[in-house]
Amino acid sequence: MAIDKDLIRQPELWQLVMEIAPDRLSALAFCPLEDHSLQMMDVSLPADGGSGAAGTLKGLEDVVYDNPGLLAAFGMTTVLWRSRRMALMPGFVTGDDTALEVLRCQFPEDDAAAPAQVLSDRWEMLDVRLDYEVPSAMAAFVRRTFDNPRMHHSLTPGALWFASRHGVRGGGGKTLVNIGRRAMDVYVLGDRAPLLVNSFECPVIEDALYYLLAVRRALGLRDSDEVFMAGDRGRRVALTALLRRYVSYVMPAIFPAEMFRAGKEVLSAPFELAIAPVALRR
Per-residue pLDDT of the chain (282 residues; tens, 9 = 90+): 789 999 999 999 999 999 999 999 999 999 999 999 999 999 998 766 544 556 589 999 999 999 999 999 999 999 999 999 999 999 999 999 999 999 999 999 888 778 899 999 999 989 999 999 999 999 999 999 999 999 999 999 999 999 988 865 666 789 999 999 899 999 999 888 899 999 999 999 999 999 999 999 999 999 889 999 999 999 999 999 999 999 999 999 988 888 999 998 999 999 999 999 999 986
Computed on alpha carbons and rounded to an integer, the radius of gyration of the chain in Å comes to 19
For 32, other C-beta atoms within 10 Å of its C-beta total 15
Quote the CA–CA distance of 61 and 53 in Å, as a whole number: 12
On whether the CB atoms of residues 63 and 47 are closer than 8 A, the answer is no
DSSP 43: E
Quote the CA–CA distance of 83 and 12 in Å, as a whole number: 29
